[in-house]
Amino acid sequence: MASLPFPYAGEVCALLAPLCWAVALILFRRTQLPPTSMNLFKNVVAAVLLCATMLVMNVGIPLDRSGQDWWNLAVSAVIGLAIADVLLLESLHRIGAARLALVDTAYAPMMVLLAWVFLGERPGLGFALGAAAVVTGIAIATVDLQRAVSRGDRFLGIGALMAFGAIVGNGASVVLIKPILEVSDLVEVTWCRLVIGILGQAVWTTLRADWSKAMVAFRPSPSWRFLLPGSVMGTYLAMLLWLGGFKWADASVAAVLNQLATVYILVLAWGVLGERVAPRQILGGALAVVGAAIVVAV
């Protein structure tokens, strides 16, 4: 485990990352831009900010990094930022938000499994109870079973597999680089991974001959009032904090705390957008918070 800059650094990062993403999501909801274009725009903005941060902090790219580590970093970027993001957007289009929320509850359990198999992490009983409370609370708060199991179209199975593939892809991408994170500068690894991911997105866009649609968000418009701050919060800060959580905490702990993004989104949607919050969402959110407290305590 990398030396901590302050006590519980990993847990703090893992808790703040989804908060930044939740704020960004509220901002992104106020834009009327194609998701794929928005995704490329926010990644480019974050890459520029990370480059500036590296210059200010006098952080360089390590020339002694092994070829295997560079390969793992590249594979992580392509899987997590190019393939997984595309799968997630496609699944949302095919199966809708209700079914996607149901599949998304698999994120924390999947990460715990990957950390156990590939990183040798062995969570104890206290962690298992807390993690179960988080996942159960999130499921209660977000999953509309009536809509999730209602009759769907012929793309339902494919869409669900895409959503699950996105979850596995994101999980595998961060597990792959956790050993690199522990011995490298956080900002540098985040920047390298993001730049490689952008290149992957560029290749994908070129193969689809979709550049005209991909560049929509880059044209100055009133949407930038929300898109620019959303890019700072949702990619620059959130990605630093997300990877920081995995750098300074066990992957299984960071993943469980990351799942609290749903609770943050519910609170912000109620407080900022004025959306109604149902009693089951309050109950589920409270259970998830209690579970997160147990995870941190143990």
- pLDDT tens for residues 202-234? 988 898 888 998 999 999 999 999 999 999 998
Q: Is 2 contained in some domain? A: no
Render pLDDT for 1-49 as a digit per residue (tens, 0 to 9).
567 888 899 999 999 998 998 888 778 878 878 878 888 999 999 999 9
Sorting pLDDT into bands at 50, 70 and 90, what band is 186? very high
Residue range of the domain that includes 293: 9-297
Q: What is the DSSP letter of 122?
A: -
Residue positions counted in the chain: 298
C-alpha 284: how far from its chain's center? Answer: 21
As a whole number of angstroms, the distance between CA 10 and CA 141 comes to: 26
As a whole number of angstroms, the distance between CA 276 and CA 293 comes to: 26
Q: Is 4 contained in some domain? A: no
Q: What pLDDT, on a 0 to 100 scale, did the predictor assign at position 246?
A: 94
Q: Which residue has the higher pLDDT, 57 or 32?
A: 57
Using the structure block, give the residue that is written with the tokens 């799942």: 259
Per-residue pLDDT averaged across 100-128, rounded? 86
Q: What is the DSSP letter of 31?
A: -
The yes-or-no verdict on residue 196 having pLDDT over 80 is yes
The yes-or-no verdict on residue 147 having pLDDT over 60 is no
Domains in the chain: how many in total?
Answer: 1
Of the ranges 54-58, 61-65, 288-292, the best mean pLDDT one: 54-58
Q: What is the DSSP letter of 218?
A: G
As a whole number of angstroms, the distance between CA 92 and CA 113 comes to: 25
The yes-or-no verdict on residue 157 having pLDDT over 90 is no
As a whole number of angstroms, the distance between CA 61 and CA 41 comes to: 24
CA of 247: how far to CAs of 100, 106, 187, 197, 225, in Å?
28, 22, 11, 19, 32
Using the structure block, give the residue that is written with the tokens 């089951």: 280
Q: Which residue has the higher pLDDT, 158 or 156?
A: 158
The yes-or-no verdict on residue 98 having pLDDT over 60 is no
Least confident of 59-63, 137-141, 175-179, 264-268: 264-268
Q: What pLDDT, on a 0 to 100 scale, did the predictor assign at position 52?
A: 97
- 136: which 2 tokens? 């159960």
As a whole number of angstroms, the distance between CA 34 and CA 102 comes to: 24
As a whole number of angstroms, the distance between CA 16 and CA 168 comes to: 22
Q: What pLDDT, on a 0 to 100 scale, did the predictor assign at position 177?
A: 95
Sorting pLDDT into bands at 50, 70 and 90, what band is 93? low
The yes-or-no verdict on residue 193 having pLDDT over 80 is yes
Q: Is 98 contained in some domain? A: yes
* Average pLDDT score over the chain: 86
Q: Is 115 contained in some domain? A: yes
Q: What pLDDT, on a 0 to 100 scale, did the predictor assign at position 211?
A: 93
Q: What pLDDT, on a 0 to 100 scale, did the predictor assign at position 101?
A: 67
Q: Is 159 contained in some domain? A: yes
Q: Is 238 contained in some domain? A: yes
Nearest Cα to Cα of residue 174 among 256, 266, 111, 237? 111
Using the structure block, give the residue that is written with the tokens 């929509």: 216
Of the ranges 65-74, 112-121, 124-133, the best mean pLDDT one: 65-74
> Which percentage of the chain shows pLDDT scores above 90?
46
Per-residue pLDDT averaged across 91-119, rounded? 79
